[in-house]
Amino acid sequence: MFTKILVANRGEIALRVIRACREMGIASVAVYSDADARAPHVREADEAVRIGPAPSAQSYLKGDRIIEAAKETGAQAIHPGYGLLSEREWFSKAVRDAGLAFIGPPPEAIAAMGSKVAARQLAIAASVPVVPGTTEALRDAAEAEEIAKKFGYPVLLKAAAGGGGKGMRVVREASEMSASLDAARREAKNAFGDDAVYVEKYVVGPRHVEIQVLGDTHGNMVSLLERECSVQRRHQKMIEEAPSVAVTPELRRRMGETAVRAAKAAGYVNAGTCEFLLDRDGNFYFLEMNTRLQVEHPVTEFVTGIDLVQWQIRVAAGEALPFRQDDIVPRGWAIECRITSEDPANGFLPSTGTVNYLRVPSGPGVRWDGGIEAGSEVGLHYDPMLAKLIVYAANRELAIDRMHRALLELTIDGIESSRDFHLRVMEDEEFRAGAIEIQWLERRLDSLVGRAPPPGTARLAALVAALIADSDRHVPRVNGSAANGSSAASSATPSTDAWTRTARLEALR
Ligand code: MV4
């Protein structure tokens, strides 16, 4: 086993990896930019190395500098976390070439899944179901119309070099094809420098369900079951859960086998995730594979009882997985809310400032994976995700109630956050019924963040009522009656001193 690991990341995921190292008796090395000199991950690691100025391009993306830091400190392995260098084929290779272990997949597996079209072709070759369509670049609108006629409208034009939804266009009838193809081509060219576009049948109203896989260097690969990630906005996930209300034991088995087959076809080792669309009839289609540890891995850890980061480390050190597929059974329900420094009431505008007060939820079944503390500066250099709040309970209803309670315990002062938005979702009848799909959040956003009264409504409403009654009592009297004419009602209100009024105002704020 390794005795020292360098963590090539920041924020909550760096802390997550450092915690796993500490539990395993492995020393950890943090790296940091100037903006993070006093960040929690730097303090919690056993050692820390400064790698450059605040911008990621001059610090956390400097792979060579990070590999150098690993050698200087005597680390034998590098954990890349997610984002940043985690899915760069060259970095996985450079780490290996430096004689260090990359705690993630080999460069060949990253390359095999890196291009969406290559992944689609690999899936087809491995009899993994994909959405019906082509993989060849379309020549012109006439060809596109011919193919669309075969599959039936609506169809979806996708950029061959694509990802993140760029260069995607839904085409509902033949008359729209020519203009949509031009638009998709233009967008693809701008985003990827490649205007190749292909066509798929458009899946209407699907869920985004993904399967976690874990493989070792001895040829063992297991499915660690599904996560439901449909609650997303502009391809940014907001809430994830495990298991999925839409997945039966039989579907779980088939999706798991399929994901393992896709991963094996790519020569995959370590933790990875196969993304699927699951349609209303229970058909599933492979979309792509994420060749990293994902943000939402904790929900899988809760329902499987398996520590994914510890197993990533063991697998990278050459250990064989001790569990068989039959051992992996979901137990209970887990939900994760991403706490971001975005203002839901303002179109999710990024918010910056100093966290001057932080109250972190705790109690039964609550896990806080955070990267901030009181005093943290939140700027625009890095991802707006501040923390993840994850809860675990016996079933979905109890998990939602528990998440609601945990969110009520959360206070972040100094910056706007997604906290109130998550409270609203936990109170939402459709969400509680599990009636979610990939368009659900964007369809419901206005009613969730609109002018409706704020969450925790009953208690707040009582406070507002008390305040109004109170202010009535203190309205200057004109001609012996309250200026607003409410003297009869207010005279029944018990008197309240200035200190209590201030406290109530604070609570409201
Ligand atoms: C689709 C689709 C419907 N039909 N393909 C979006 C990003 C890219 N990775 C694949 N995406 C989609 N492909 C067909 N044939 C709908 C989406 C999609 C989506 C997929 C997963 C999670 C969120 C999404 C949000 C919008 C669209």
pLDDT of 461 reads 60
Mean pLDDT of 14-41: 98
Q: Judge whether residue 444 has pLDDT over 60.
A: yes
Of the given ranges (5-9, 277-281, 452-456, 491-495), which has the lowest mean pLDDT?
Answer: 491-495
Q: Judge whether residue 477 has pLDDT over 90.
A: no
- Structural element, H or E, at residue 458: helix 457-474
Residue of the nearest CA to atom 3 in ligand 1? 203
Q: What is the pLDDT confidence band of residue 27, given thresholds at 50, 70 and 90?
A: very high
d(CA 153, CA 180): 14
Digit-coded pLDDT (tens) for 79-115: 999 999 999 999 999 999 999 999 999 999 999 998 8
pLDDT of 494 reads 43
Tell me, in angstroms, the distance from the centre of ligand 1 to residue 168's CA.
9
Q: Categorise residue 145: left if φ over 0, alpha if ψ from -120 to 50, beta otherwise.
A: alpha
Report yes or no: 508 and 463 within 8 Å, Cβ to Cβ: yes
The owner of tokens 């209803």 is 397
What Rg do the C-alpha atoms of the chain give, in angstroms?
26
- φ and ψ at residue 220, rounded to 5 degrees: -90, 135
* Residues 497/502/508/509 CA torsion (nearest 10 deg): 170
Tell me, in angstroms, the distance from the centre of ligand 1 to residue 153's CA.
16
- Structural element, H or E, at residue 272: strand 270-278
User: pLDDT: is 449 or 203 the higher one?
Assistant: 203
d(CA 276, CA 120): 12
- Structural element, H or E, at residue 18: helix 11-23
Mean pLDDT of 222-242: 97
Whole-number Cα distances in Å, 416 to 281, 303, 457, 506: 40, 31, 19, 16
pLDDT of 475 reads 45
Digit-coded pLDDT (tens) for 183-197: 999 999 998 899 999
- Structural element, H or E, at residue 215: strand 207-215
The owner of tokens 């705690």 is 103
- Residue 503 in tokens: 């406290």
- φ and ψ at residue 119, rounded to 5 degrees: -65, -40
Mean pLDDT of 227-252: 97
**Residues contacting residue 264 through CB under 8 Å, at least 6 positions apart:** 126, 215, 221
Q: Judge whether residue 473 has pLDDT over 90.
A: no
Report yes or no: 188 and 197 within 8 Å, Cβ to Cβ: yes
Residues in contact with ligand 1 by the CB-under-6-Å rule are 131, 156, 165, 200-203, 208, 232, 235, 277, 287-288, 438
Q: Taking Cα atoms as reference points, which of 391, 212, 390 lies closest to residue 294? A: 212
- Fill in the DSSP letter of residue 296: T
Residues of the chain with pLDDT > 90, as a percent, come to 84
pLDDT of 459 reads 63
Residue of the nearest CA to atom 19 in ligand 1? 438
Catalytic residues: 292
Q: Taking Cα atoms as reference points, which of 24, 120, 81, 70 lies closest to residue 271? A: 81
Digit-coded pLDDT (tens) for 8-23: 999 999 999 999 999 9
Q: Categorise residue 235: left if φ over 0, alpha if ψ from -120 to 50, beta otherwise.
A: left
Whole-number Cα distances in Å, 216 to 158, 222, 289, 378: 34, 9, 17, 38
- Residue 357 in tokens: 């007060």
Tell me, in angstroms, the distance from the centre of ligand 1 to residue 207's CA.
9
Mean pLDDT of 382-410: 98
Q: Judge whether residue 139 has pLDDT over 60.
A: yes
Report yes or no: 47 and 30 within 8 Å, Cβ to Cβ: yes
Digit-coded pLDDT (tens) for 403-417: 999 999 999 999 999
pLDDT of 484 reads 40
Q: Judge whether residue 455 has pLDDT over 90.
A: no
d(CA 220, CA 264): 9
Tell me, in angstroms, the distance from the centre of ligand 1 to residue 128's CA.
17
Digit-coded pLDDT (tens) for 297-334: 999 999 999 999 999 999 999 999 999 999 999 999 99
Q: What is the pLDDT confidence band of residue 135, given thresholds at 50, 70 and 90?
A: confident
pLDDT of 424 reads 97
Q: What is the pLDDT confidence band of residue 213, given thresholds at 50, 70 and 90?
A: very high
Q: What is the pLDDT confidence band of residue 499, given thresholds at 50, 70 and 90?
A: low
Of ligand 1's atoms, which has the minimum distance to the CA of residue 164?
A: 7
Q: Are strands 77-79 and 4-7 parallel, antiparallel or unpaired?
A: parallel
Residue of the nearest CA to atom 24 in ligand 1? 438
Mutate which of 277, 279, 290 for ligand 1 pocket (most atoms within 8 A of beta carbon): 277
pLDDT of 167 reads 80
Q: Categorise residue 455: left if φ over 0, alpha if ψ from -120 to 50, beta otherwise.
A: beta
pLDDT of 116 reads 85
Report yes or no: 264 and 251 within 8 Å, Cβ to Cβ: no
d(CA 257, CA 222): 8
Of ligand 1's atoms, which has the minimum distance to the CA of residue 131?
A: 15
Mean pLDDT of 335-357: 96
Q: What is the pLDDT confidence band of residue 481, given thresholds at 50, 70 and 90?
A: very low
- Fill in the DSSP letter of residue 47: E
Of ligand 1's atoms, which has the minimum distance to the CA of residue 155?
A: 15
Buried b (16+ CB within 10 A) or exposed e, 429-446: eebeebebbbebbeebee
∠ Cα 427 430 434 (to 5°): 105
SS3 188: helix
pLDDT of 489 reads 38
- Please list the residues that pair with 211 across neighbouring strands: 226, 274
Residue of the nearest CA to atom 21 in ligand 1? 208
pLDDT of 508 reads 59
pLDDT of 465 reads 65
Q: Judge whether residue 501 has pLDDT over 60.
A: no
Report yes or no: 31 and 49 within 8 Å, Cβ to Cβ: yes
Residue of the nearest CA to atom 7 in ligand 1? 165
Tell me, in angstroms, the distance from the centre of ligand 1 to residue 165's CA.
7
Q: Judge whether residue 496 has pLDDT over 80.
A: no
